[in-house]
């Protein structure tokens, strides 16, 4: 039994509240247990220099944590004057994952900024961010389509993410912070709704893991991600 009484292959209670913010074109509040992330998608009518005149749009992401979101207060990156490596790694992951699922040619000359801000962190903030950012992104794209600013809804597949890991040699789905901080193996998977992989990041924290472990972890992740797609469909009616 896990610390929060879950079975090894159970997700934490997941909730997605669409339209959480008033100003951005798309937004949601996503919760994986105690992990709570505000995700938003804002449309900017220009592209970065390297894409000017390329007939393509761009999707980029930024990630942040409120100082009081963590068990021990985290120093504010704005006051520290730079973002940590972990922050940059996560925002690059979110951006890449979303760009992979969207036809960038269909949003030519626009940049969509995805902001994922962690209000409360209890493990899995990057997978909750990916899962929520996809919802915010779809809402913004739907808004653009409804406003006649793009011709079609340019999402090629659904995207969600979950963490899996090995703890005391047991394979667990959707680790909370307590589990994550002592896991032997920690893995994040971003997948599409046709069962393919967009990103896989697996790290042995103490002990290397075998190919068999990897296979089992991927199957476990897919089991969880399929449930996330169900939740996304509920808050994105008519889109998938």
Q: Using CB under 8 A, which of 152, 196, 237, 238 touches a second copy?
A: 196
Q: Using CB under 8 A, which of 8, 54, 78, 182 touches a second copy?
A: 78
Angle at 34 between CA 134 and CA 193, to 5 degrees: 30
The three-state DSSP-derived secondary structure of 8-45 is CCCCCCEEEEECCCCCCCEEEEEEECCEEEEEEEEEEC
Shortest CB 211 distance to a second copy, Å: 7
218 in Cβ contact with 212 (< 8 Å): no
Question: Of the listed pieces 73-81, 146-154, 161-169, 231-239, which binds a second copy according to CB under 8 A?
Answer: 73-81
Instruction: Using the minimum distance from each CB to a second copy, give the nearer residue, 7 or 204.
Output: 204
Q: Using CB under 8 A, which of 13, 48, 88, 234 touches a second copy?
A: 88
Residue 109 and residue 43: Cα distance in Å, rounded? 10
48 binds a second copy (CB under 8 A): no
225 in Cβ contact with 157 (< 8 Å): no
47 binds a second copy (CB under 8 A): no
Binding mask 140-179 for a second copy (x = CB under 8 A): -----------------x----------------------
122 binds a second copy (CB under 8 A): yes
Reduced to 3 states (helix: H, G, I; strand: E, B; else coil), residue 236 is coil
Q: How far is CA 164 from CA 56, 142, 180, 203, 225, in A?
A: 35, 32, 9, 11, 11
**Which tokens hold the place of 24?**
């951005």
**102 strand-pairing partners:** 155
3 binds a second copy (CB under 8 A): no
Question: Of the listed pieces 8-16, 51-59, 81-89, 168-176, which binds a second copy according to CB under 8 A?
Answer: 81-89
**Which tokens hold the place of 209?**
């893991």
What size, in residues, is the chain? 240
Question: Of the listed pieces 5-13, 89-97, 127-135, 226-234, which binds a second copy according to CB under 8 A?
Answer: 89-97
What is the binding site for a second copy (CB under 8 A)? 21-24, 27, 34, 38, 40, 42, 44, 62, 64, 66-73, 76-89, 91-92, 96, 100, 113, 115, 117, 119-120, 122, 157, 191-192, 194-211, 214, 218
């Amino acid at each position: 039994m896990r610390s929060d009484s879950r079975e090894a292959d159970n997700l934490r209670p997941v909730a997605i509240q669409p339209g959480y913010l008033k100003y951005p074109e798309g937004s949601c509040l996503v919760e994986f247990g105690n992990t709570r992330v505000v995700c938003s998608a804002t449309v900017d009518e220009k592209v970065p220099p390297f894409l000017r005149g390329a007939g393509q749009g761009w999707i980029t992401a930024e990630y942040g944590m409120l100082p009081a979101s963590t068990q021990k207060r985290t120093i504010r990156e704005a006051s520290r004057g730079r973002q940590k490596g972990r922050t940059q790694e996560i925002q690059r992951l979110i951006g890449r994952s979303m760009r992979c699922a969207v036809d960038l040619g269909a949003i030519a000359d626009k940049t969509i900024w995805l902001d994922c801000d962690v209000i409360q962190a209890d493990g899995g903030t990057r997978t909750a961010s990916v899962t929520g950012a996809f919802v915010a992104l779809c809402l913004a794209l739907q808004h653009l389509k409804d406003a006649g600013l793009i011709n079609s809804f340019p999402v090629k597949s659904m995207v969600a993410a979950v963490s899996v890991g090995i703890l005391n040699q047991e394979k667990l789905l959707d680790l909370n912070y307590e589990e994550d901080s002592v896991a032997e193996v920690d893995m994040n998977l971003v997948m599409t709704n046709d069962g393919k992989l967009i990103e896989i990041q697996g790290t042995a924290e103490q002990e290397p893991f075998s190919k068999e472990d990897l296979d089992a972890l991927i199957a476990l992740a897919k089991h969880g991600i399929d449930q996330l797609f169900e939740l996304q469909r509920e808050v994105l009616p008519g889109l998938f």
